Structures are given as C-alpha cells and as structure tokens.
C-alpha cells in the first residue's frame, strides 16, 4: 500500500470494503490520512476515539487559561505512545483547518460532523483568521519537534501555554 497518494473517496472506499468499518469512522480516518492508504491503516490500528473529546477539553483549558489542567494534560499526553501523540497533533491541525473554513464563511466545504461541528461552531465565535493561522503554525511546529524526538511533555506544555496566549490574549 505504498505509492502515490489517492483521493479521499478511494481511500474511504478501500477502508470500508477491506476493513469493514462504518462510514463515520472511515471519514475521520481519511481526513487525517491525507490520501495515504498506509497512513490510513496506521491510524485505523492506533485510532484514539477520544481525540475529539481530548481536543475540545484542551482548547477550553487553553482559552480559560487553566494552567493546572494544562499541566495535567501534558502529563497525560506524555503517557501516550508516539503514534497517538502524532495523531492528536494531526487531528488538532485538521480541526484548525475546519475552524478556518467556518470562520471564513466557507462552512459548506467543512468536513466536520456531529459533535466536531458543534464544537467548531462554538469555537469559531472566539476565533478569527489570525488566531487560527497562529494556532495552526504552533501545532505544526510542535508536530515537527515531536518527530525529532523532543520531550512530549515539554512540547505539549509549551504549545499549550502559547495557545492560551493566542486564544485569549
């Protein structure tokens, strides 16, 4: 399953036909896999169903500047395996993309559904394009440092503090 990237529909169809997963779960995996069937398989095998909950709690703690909660979350994040850590960063960047679409008035091409969409609708009320861009850049930089085997706890806490300052200056 290595080779060129495929379009999202092909990867989703392959997952549903060969791995017998439901539409909603396949769609979430395909969003994060970005056209790579190999990445889709890895995500499927190491899927964290609570990324939505973890992300929403994390963003709320950042916005409220609940530093004690952020330290606890950094400890929890440190306890995750490397792939789960990267998955959360990829999921977070995807959620920032969805938030950007919603705040820019392009909600019709938004891929979020259900509780993700509800969160994005609420989150976009306190976000603007500059905040989303800055947050995405911070997440991307943190992802880069994680790939270089930086300390997950330190990276996550530093990222959380920077996000808190960005979301609620």
Q: Are residues 81 and 157 in the same domain?
A: yes
Q: Looking at the domain assignment, is residue 3 inside a domain?
A: no
Largest CA distance in the chain: 47
User: How many residues in total does the chain contain?
Assistant: 169
User: Which tens digit of pLDDT belongs to each residue from 93-103?
Assistant: 999 999 999 89
Residue 4 to residue 72: CA distance in whole angstroms: 40
Q: Are residues 155 and 77 in the same domain?
A: yes
Give 3-state DSSP helix, strand, coil % of the chain, rounded to 5: 75, 0, 25
Q: Looking at the domain assignment, is residue 103 inside a domain?
A: yes
User: Which tens digit of pLDDT belongs to each residue from 40-74?
Assistant: 887 776 564 578 889 999 999 999 999 999 999 99
Q: Looking at the domain assignment, is residue 1 inside a domain?
A: no
Q: Are residues 39 and 62 in the same domain?
A: no
Q: Are residues 41 and 94 in the same domain?
A: no
pLDDT at 153: 97
Q: Number of folded domains in the chain? A: 2
Q: Are residues 71 and 151 in the same domain?
A: yes
Please determine, for residue 148, whether its predicted confidence score (pLDDT) is greater than 90. yes
Residue 134 to residue 140: CA distance in whole angstroms: 10
Q: Which band of pLDDT confidence, cut at 50, 70 and 90, is reported for residue 15? A: confident
Q: Looking at the domain assignment, is residue 127 inside a domain?
A: yes
Cβ atoms 164, 65 nearer than 8 A: yes
Segments forming the whole domain that contains residue 41:
8-45
pLDDT at 4: 63
Task: Give the CA distances from residue 59 to residues 16, 87, 113, 150, 163, in Å, rounded to whole numbers and listed in that order.
Answer: 31, 16, 18, 22, 8
CATH number at residue 62: 1.20.272.10
Q: Are residues 58 and 87 in the same domain?
A: yes
Q: Are residues 105 and 130 in the same domain?
A: yes
């Amino acid at each position: 399953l290595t080779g060129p990237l495929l379009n999202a529909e092909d990867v989703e169809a392959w997952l549903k036909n060969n791995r017998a997963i439901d539409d909603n779960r396949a769609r979430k995996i395909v969003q994060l896999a970005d056209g790579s069937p190999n990445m889709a398989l890895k995500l499927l095998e190491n899927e964290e169903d609570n990324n939505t909950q973890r992300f929403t709690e994390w963003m709320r703690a950042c916005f409220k500047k609940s530093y004690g909660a952020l330290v606890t979350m950094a400890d929890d994040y440190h306890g995750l395996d490397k792939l789960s850590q990267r998955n959360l960063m990829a999921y977070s960047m995807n959620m920032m993309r969805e938030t950007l679409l919603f705040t820019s008035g392009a909600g019709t091409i938004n891929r979020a559904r259900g509780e993700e969409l509800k969160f994005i609708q609420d989150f976009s009320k306190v976000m603007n394009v500059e905040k989303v861009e800055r947050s995405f850049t911070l997440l991307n930089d943190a992802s880069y440092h994680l790939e270089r085997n930086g300390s997950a706890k330190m990276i996550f806490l530093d990222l959380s503090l920077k996000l808190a300052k960005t979301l609620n200056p």
